[in-house]
Amino acid sequence: MRIGLLTEGGYPYASGESHAWCDRLVRGLTGHDFEVYALSAEPRRDAPPRPELPRHVRLVRSAPLEDGFPAGRRRAGEPRRGRTPGRRERRRFAECFGDLVAAFATAPPGGEPATPVVPARGAAHGGAPAGYPPAVPGGTPDEVVTSKADRFAGGLYGLAELAREHRGLPALLHSEDAVRLLEAACHGPRALPAAPGAQVNDLLAVTAGLARALRPLSLDWYGDRHTPGLGGVDLCHATSGGAAALPGLLAKHFFATPLLVTEYGVRLREHYLARASAPLSAPVRALLAAFQGALAAETYAQAALITPGNTHARRWQERCGADRARLRTVYPGMDAAPFAAVADAGADDSKTLVWVGSIEPAKDLIGLLHAFAEIRRAEPEATLRIVGGVGRDPQAPGYLAQCQALAAQLFPDEAADSRSVGENPVSFEEIGSPEVPDLADAYASGAVVVLSSVIEGFPRSLVEAMFCGRATVSTDAGAVCEVIGGTGLVVPPRNPRALAEACTTLLGDPDRRARLGAAARARALELFTVEQNVAAFRGIYLELISHAPALPAACRARDARGVPQPFARPAESHVPGRWAATGAATRAAAPGARDAVPAARDAVSATSAAVPAGRTPSWAVPAQERTAVLPVPAGGGAEAGGGAEGGGVAEGGGATGVRGARRSVRWGAAGDRTGVTGAEERAKERGQW
């Protein structure tokens, strides 16, 4: 099948864990064709991606999210005389954008009811304030009973339809009309608590953020008469929420393409963490967070299946409105081969602690250093190796310098005697240095691997330590407990004393370290390998496509380049004979069949000649329509619908129903049957089956 892989800021351009996971998935599923649609944080060249992609990656499309959005990447709209949007487009934009803004920027007093009252189309542009029902003659409001989520979806897909017809949506999102609509919602009686304080510069910042988030609506990824785009794929797989899932939402809306959403780090949580440290005012943070929350809820509502990477992410998704029935945890697949050569930890007297990761404030290395000071009092020979580089946090370089200064203060250089050179028991090292050529060497050098984070998603460093058969001591953050599963010690975060006690316990018990390390390696090889991840998604792909509706019969079986499209027609359309032609045309002719059997015969004959082989067979017709599918012969005998075989036609189940359907068509073609079949003909009929 053809998979549309939707990414943001990663595969196939940027390096990192998201790139590695997507690359492992694509290379593992060689039986499927992939089309990659990548959103990048900054404009990129039109040249092919640097890494060599597998041959079954048929197409790579990219588009930037930052300013400087090239016109060549926008969706081609209908030719117009003017270059700027006309009054009709501006009116439609005001309606759709007003609904979108009113859905996430306003809330009724005391919380949202199950069915709040919202204005009809166009009511947000005059008369009643945004979010209130408009007054109509007679004093009765014209109520449109719908939820805020439905209103958000209506505005979102309305903007998508506008972008599909007119290429000026980016200009409209940056227009004064957008600012005025947002201002009306922020200063209305139902505004969010922080919204009324928004100033002009805040409104401009929010509209710029919305324009950036809604850029996928204007892309040319959704197909035209030259290229099928996302309209020709069998399944959209979004590797994260947010902007990456937005093209999948449009493909679901326009083409009924199933959407699969995988989140190993919940995008909404990442947005909250990033906005909290950004220099933004409270109204801007509140409005952008409300928009991202509404977009996440719509994504979870439309996804056929959601695959979180751990229980921590699953809880976030449930809080955002995801249906538990459509949640399925699939752990990230990590390559265990680089760590296979590392031997299990022996029951020796090693006293080395190892910390591996990106150095940034969320890792709480300050707490780890204070904990190590207590460890040194109990184990004077203990050493601590901090292995890793500076993280992506803007404060990471300063934090590294602070940690180095604290280590020098807490642990002055020590020497074994008066002739030896003093050394600090705490070392800061990077992967690739002579002391630590690769990750496997870093883990192999330690007796215990430590994780001291206060904020954590999926702890990849712990999984790598488990692949190496090392015992671990970690803080209870993110998915740590789920990953460890009893094969290591877990302590509360921001508690240096508890961290020191757990490390001291394992350093003083080599046999326990060895047992925990062996159990950790077995658990990691069972749950967190690439093979289990690829196998899980192979089954999910087939499961989703088996439940997806088939493409219309009018769709081409090949795309614009002549490549066959699997699953373009349902399996029933390949059945030979007249059975595949007993669809809509036959059902349309059925009401008069009881009174005019010859007319039904002509209709069936014409259908067999004119209707393509993609029509629904008679046994696939819904139960309420099956009684009117085929002409019923006169006579009312048992075989004409009163007996078991006639009932087989009505029930539409196995061979009996098929046999009855075929005999009914034969009677209609004869034109002179009375519905009574002799024993000779019945025996002949059974012989054919």
Residues near 606 by Cβ (< 8 Å), separated by ≥ 6? 585
Query: Can you give the pTM of this predicted structure?
Result: 0.72
With a cut of 70, say whether residue 98 has pLDDT above it: yes
Better-scored residue on pLDDT, 126 or 505:
505
Predicted confidence band of residue 269 (pLDDT cuts 50, 70, 90): confident
**What are the tokens at 686?**
């059974």
The radius of gyration of the chain's CA atoms, rounded to the nearest angstrom, is 32
With a cut of 80, say whether residue 85 has pLDDT above it: no
DSSP string, 492-528: -TT-HHHHHHHHHHHHT-HHHHHHHHHHHHHHHHHHS
Predicted confidence band of residue 428 (pLDDT cuts 50, 70, 90): very high
Angle between helix axes 176-186 and 200-213 (nearest 10 degrees) is 110
Predicted confidence band of residue 264 (pLDDT cuts 50, 70, 90): confident
Predicted confidence band of residue 42 (pLDDT cuts 50, 70, 90): low
Q: What per-residue confidence (pLDDT) applies to 79? A: 44
Predicted confidence band of residue 320 (pLDDT cuts 50, 70, 90): confident
Q: Could you give the CA distance from residue 572 to residue 189 in angstroms, rounded to a whole number? A: 56
What are the pLDDT digits (tens) for 474-521?
999 989 999 999 999 999 999 999 999 999 999 999 999 999 999 999
Question: If you search the block for the tokens 């800021």, which residue do you land on?
Answer: 9
**What are the tokens at 305?**
């299946």
With a cut of 60, say whether residue 659 has pLDDT above it: no
Average pLDDT value for residue range 571-592: 45
Q: Could you give the CA distance from residue 298 to residue 248 in angstroms, rounded to a whole number? A: 11
What are the pLDDT digits (tens) for 365-396?
999 999 999 999 999 999 999 999 998 888 89
Average pLDDT, the chain: 76
Predicted confidence band of residue 443 (pLDDT cuts 50, 70, 90): very high
Structural contact between residues 4 and 233, judged by C-beta atoms closer than 8 angstroms: yes
